[in-house]
Amino acid sequence: MSVATDTRPVEATPVRAVDPRVRVTARGVLRSEWSKLWSLRSTWITLGIGLLFLLGFGTIAALRYESMLGSAQMDPDFADSTAYSLALFGVPFSLIALGVLGVLTASGEYSSGMIRSTLAAVPRRLPVLWTKAAVYGVLAFVAATAGAFIGFLISSGVLDGTPAELALSADGVVRGLLGTGVYLGLVGVIGVALGTLLRSTAGGISALVGTFMLVPGLMSLLPQAWRDDLNPYLPSSAGDAMTAMQHSAGTLSAGAGLAVLLGWTVLALGGAAYRLMRSDA
């Protein structure tokens, strides 16, 4: 029995020409990350919570100071307060909200699987990390700076005519408020880096809270000499130095605090970049 074979030539599948005009550009990656960020409901909610913490706790602190003024019930922690320090009372709480949103910005793509589409569109990978960190860092800086200035103006109005009264033109106020915005903006960038490095929302948030909240408390377990040497270089201490109007002995200056926090930010981004390049999505 013979088997008939079809000897007709098979037509080759036409190869689709690649349009040289279609390429990955920095502007395209930027627009993509901006669109993804604002398409998430968590962005609006968490950013609003961060601002609410910054404004709400500062206003409450100013009102509490005013209510206790001149009474025997004045809390010692409030006795030497100023409109500036009371306005920034909510910074630690706002830090958590803005840092968590930074983690979600990166880890959310891994949990949903969108990261595979993102990296397929941007094969070089690293531009995704740099752009994501820059977009959210700038957004967190703008929001935090606006919240700090508005909160100070509210506190100044509440405390007008009291010993805690302080004008915006007072020495160190504007620098400190801008430093608050930079501090919280860099915390947001560190959150993005942790979300990319750990690829887990729970892990990234735990690392963020542990770094800025738990580690400073655990430093009390170390010998005094060690605490004095290490405390100023913690991320939270560097941030406090950036926002402080006056610096006491043993603390960093505002410029040194910024340099230390930038160092921690670069370290976190470096780890995230290494994981992004070396591991599959």
Q: 3-state SS of 62-94?
A: HHHHHHHCCCCCCCHHHHCCCHHHHHCCCHHHH
Q: What ranges do the domains of the chain cover?
A: 26-215+227-278
- List pLDDT tens digits, range 164-206: 899 999 999 999 999 999 999 999 999 999 999 999 999 999 9
DSSP characters for 26-55? HHHHHHHHHHHHHH-HHHHHHHHHHHHHHH
pLDDT at 26 over 60: yes
The percentage of residues in the chain with a pLDDT greater than 70, rounded to a whole number, is 91
Across 246-269, average pLDDT: 92
**Confidence class of residue 130 from pLDDT cuts 50, 70 and 90?**
very high
pTM above 0.85, yes or no: yes
For residues 245-270, average pLDDT: 92
Quick one: CA dihedral 165, 169, 171, 177, positive or negative? positive
Please classify residue 119 by burial: count the beta carbons closer than 10 Å to its beta carbon, then call 0-12 exposed, 13-18 middle and 19+ buried: middle
Q: What pLDDT does 203 receive?
A: 95
How does pLDDT run across 199-241, given as a tens digit for each residue? Answer: 999 999 999 999 999 999 898 888 988 888 899 999 999 999 9
**pLDDT for 2 beyond 50:** no
Supply the pLDDT for residue 72: 65
**According to the model, what pLDDT value does residue 281 have?**
64
Q: What residues have CB less than 8 Å from 98, skipping those under 6 apart? A: 46, 47, 50, 140, 143, 144, 184, 187, 188, 191
- For 33-70, how does the pLDDT look when each residue is reduced to its tens digit (9 = 90+)? 888 888 888 888 999 999 999 999 999 999 988 888 87
Q: Report pLDDT digits (tens) over 80-112.
A: 889 999 999 999 999 999 999 999 999 988 888
Q: Kindly tell me if the per-residue pLDDT of 3 is higher than 60.
A: no
Whether pLDDT at 18 is above 60: no
C-alpha to C-alpha distance for 174 and 86, rounded to whole angstroms = 15
Tell me the residue type at 164: A
With tokens 């887990």, the residue in question is 200
Residue 14 reports pLDDT greater than 50: no
